[in-house]
């Protein structure tokens, strides 16, 4: 078996594709409460006069409210800005690393609820063994560092070459910008990449519009957007039948229309 001719990168969605974040709703409220307590304990090191009630009213509630507006605003609420607006009442300021550590304290209990797709590791490892590059394109309201730690915690980190998260990039799927940026950073033409995900609207449609082939992970959903698909799969392991096709002779094609030119302001590592 050889990798699909002309394909170099496979992009995966995160939630409900590789990882599952809401498989135990009965414990989520308890874990959130533990997370808030952890965050409070961390912030007390800097602001010993801060009460738990002040934290909830001054940061947690405004942050939760902002997260509810994510789909409408098409962007992630900036945790560091919200957190520093709150701690300014104590004449304080938290640098970016401290903000990440604060949210790491908050998110640590929630990590215990994450489930990994059963066959994900074997699928990713097989693709890596066949010289595919693997990357993740995902929406998240959390710092990229925390989401990468989730992949490492669930044993998938070694299989993933690069991550593209909406929080750090300032743009959410289904915006085509996040897909175009990912292509630039991976250094490939759109027709050299494949997008794998569970959402027709957030994953398949925008990936197709920038020129990628798409594999949709779904069970009984209808392709109501009529997105052209390379394949529709019920299980993640089924994508191997497409990505590791028998070696065939293909005509060499380069579709310049789908190539995204690098630009200077995107050159730095995010």
Phi and psi, residue 138, nearest 5°: -150, 150
Nearest to 243 by CA among 105, 87, 134: 134
Residue 13 CA neighbour count, 13 Å, CB half: 27
User: Strand order of the sheet with strand 213-217?
Assistant: 162-165, 133-138, 9-12, 193-197, 213-217, 231-233
For 261, phi and psi rounded to 5 degrees?
-65, 140
- CATH, domain 9-20+115-266, list 3.40.50.1000, 3.40.50.1110, 1.10.3720.10, 3.30.110.40: 3.40.50.1000
- Domain boundaries of the chain, sorted by first residue: 9-20+115-266, 25-111
pLDDT computed for residue 259 by the predictor: 44
Q: Is 255 exposed, middle or buried (0-12, 13-18, 19+ CB in 10 A)?
A: exposed
Rounded-to-integer distance, Cα 235 and Cα 242, Å: 13
pLDDT for 246 equals 53
pLDDT value for 1: 62
34 burial class (0-12, 13-18, 19+ CB within 10 angstroms)?
Answer: middle
Instruction: Report residues of the chain scoring pLDDT below 70.
Output: 1-2, 246-270
User: Left if phi > 0, otherwise alpha if psi is -120 to 50, otherwise beta: which for 54?
Assistant: alpha
Tell me: the pLDDT tens digits for 100-143?
999 999 999 999 999 999 999 999 999 999 999 999 999 999 99
């Amino acid at each position: 078996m050889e990798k699909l001719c002309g394909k170099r990168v496979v992009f995966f969605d995160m939630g409900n594709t590789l990882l599952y974040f809401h498989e135990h709703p009965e414990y989520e409220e308890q874990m959130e409460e533990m997370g808030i307590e952890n965050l409070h304990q961390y912030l007390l090191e800097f602001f010993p006069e801060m009460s738990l009630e002040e934290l909830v009213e001054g940061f947690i509630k405004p942050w939760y409210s902002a997260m509810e507006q994510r789909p409408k605003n098409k962007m992630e609420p900036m945790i560091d800005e919200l957190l520093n607006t709150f701690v300014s009442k104590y004449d304080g300021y938290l640098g970016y690393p401290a903000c990440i550590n604060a949210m790491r304290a908050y998110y640590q209990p929630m990590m215990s609820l994450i489930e990994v797709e059963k066959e994900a590791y074997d699928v990713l490892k097989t693709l890596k063994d066949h010289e595919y590059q693997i990357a993740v394109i995902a929406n998240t309201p959390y710092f990229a560092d925390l989401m990468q730690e989730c992949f490492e915690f669930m044993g998938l980190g070694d299989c993933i070459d690069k991550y593209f998260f909406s929080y750090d990039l300032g743009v959410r799927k289904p915006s085509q910008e996040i897909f175009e940026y990912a292509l630039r950073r991976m250094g490939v033409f759109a027709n050299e990449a494949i997008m794998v995900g569970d959402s027709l609207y957030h994953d398949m449609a925008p990936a197709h519009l920038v020129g990628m082939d798409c594999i949709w992970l779904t069970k009984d959903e209808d392709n109501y957007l009529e997105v052209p698909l390379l394949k529709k799969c019920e299980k993640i392991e089924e994508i191997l039948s497409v990505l590791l096709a028998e070696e065939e002779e293909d005509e060499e094609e380069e579709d310049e229309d789908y190539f995204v030119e690098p630009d200077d302001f995107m050159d730095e590592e995010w």
